[in-house]
Structure 1
């Protein structure tokens, strides 16, 4: 779909990939409603954007369903239209073995990731489905494809968001609303924080067997660029990053091998 002049809501727009998606959409002359639980982070996004009336910020506390349900109307009142949604909101998990993980961590991951994705869809789908053209992009971690050791709660919640999004894709495959799933690998900030697409010069190596291997990271700029292009194309499934593409491919061809490969790579981080 066209970006110029259209209005996109970006959840998680206060930092990281979400902020970079906001900045790139504005650069491509779209209008953006940036949503985040941190008002300070949104203010910084606004300062970096220099977008005047093309950026509208919405602090929304995590789990505030009433505020989320009211958001589509607020965006329409502020911008006059609402054409697409990008969901990068979510919570992570401290690396810890499952036997040492409190049950509340699982509940928090499911609430912060799956329930958030469901609540966003519930709030925005009625409007998006009424449009001649519209887009919804949910971004998940590659941990939702192959679970990471030490992050069982996070991996479970990401897998659930993946399955939920795939259900929405199936429901809308012949409709005017294009639903997309973006699966991201390891992402690091750009060197100078100015979205120039460069990677950090010295990512930390990971011990695999007897070798120290430098992981293949993707910059926030490159990841955001993939997500913005997904909004344009409506492609139902994209995988972001060389590491994620390798894991995704192996998971399709040799599922057991993919799990053991990731476990071997991540095991040093759990110990």
Structure 2
């Protein structure tokens, strides 16, 4: 779906990839509904939009609140007149902790935001998208959604659920006007650790060389929007995601071993 003159909803729009998705969409001529739980972060996104802020609306929504999410489509339509696409980007991680040591409250929160938040948004907006000449749903999974990362198994499970739900949605909608894309970002230099309330939780400081290998949020956003505009089924964002996707298909056990070895360098014991 070409985004020019389309109305696109973006969750997690207060920072990181989400903010860059908003700015990229605006730069390509879209109108954008930016959704986040953090009001101050949304205000900063509006500020960075500059002269294009007139095509931007903001909504403070807790994605774990199904009723609030279900009220969102009518609010967006009241402001923009229609809705053509959604990008389910919002997500959190948990402390780098083994399942055996991870408390249930944190497990539930990760699943509620990453999976159920994506599900609520999809079900809330899909009836409206089906009424449009063309519509699009882009769901952000993760490299961790197809490749297990030690210490982030529940996060990975939530993103694996997003992966399979999105692939199933594609199959269900392939004969309709709504296209579906699932995205697997690798390492991206965002504030997800701090925003998830787990900054430094079990992690050492990454080296400058490690950080230089990460995609910037802007680069990730460009890749994601290109995937949407080309109606791609799968988008692998970053060299690490592409490499590990190939390796995992060829030798899942070896791929898991490589990731486990890399994580040992980063996790404090």
Q: Give the TM-score of the pair, scaled to structure 1.
A: 0.89
- My pick for the range that moved more, 19-28 or 90-99, is 90-99
Counterpart position of 2:28:
28
Pairing of 1:1-271 with structure 2 (within 5 A):
1-50=1-50, 51-188=52-189, 204-205=206-207, 216-270=213-267, 271=269
Partners of 1:174 and 1:235 lie apart in 2 by 15
Spell out structure 1 runs of 4+ moving beyond 4 A: 212-215
Size of the aligned set, in residue pairs, is: 254
Partners of 1:220 and 1:119 lie apart in 2 by 25
Higher helix share: 2
Does the Cα contact within 8 Å between 1:105 and 1:153 map onto a contact in 2?
no
Does the Cα contact within 8 Å between 2:206 and 2:266 map onto a contact in 1?
no
How far the C-alpha of 1:62 sits from its partner, in A, is 3.5
Does the Cα contact within 8 Å between 2:37 and 2:62 map onto a contact in 1?
yes
Higher strand share: 1
Does the Cα contact within 8 Å between 1:183 and 1:240 map onto a contact in 2?
yes
Partners of 1:151 and 1:5 lie apart in 2 by 39
Query: Unaligned regions of 5+ residues in structure 2, if any?
Result: 191-204
SS in 1 for 2:70: helix
Q: Give the TM-score of the pair, scaled to structure 2.
A: 0.90
Partners of 2:213 and 2:53 lie apart in 1 by 37
Q: Deviations over 1:51-106 (max 9, x none)?
A: 24200011112322212111111111101111100010112111112222112222
How far the C-alpha of 1:268 sits from its partner, in A, is 2.8
How far the C-alpha of 1:42 sits from its partner, in A, is 0.4
How far the C-alpha of 1:166 sits from its partner, in A, is 0.9
How far the C-alpha of 1:214 sits from its partner, in A, is 7.2
Partners of 2:266 and 2:210 lie apart in 1 by 14
Counterpart position of 2:200:
none
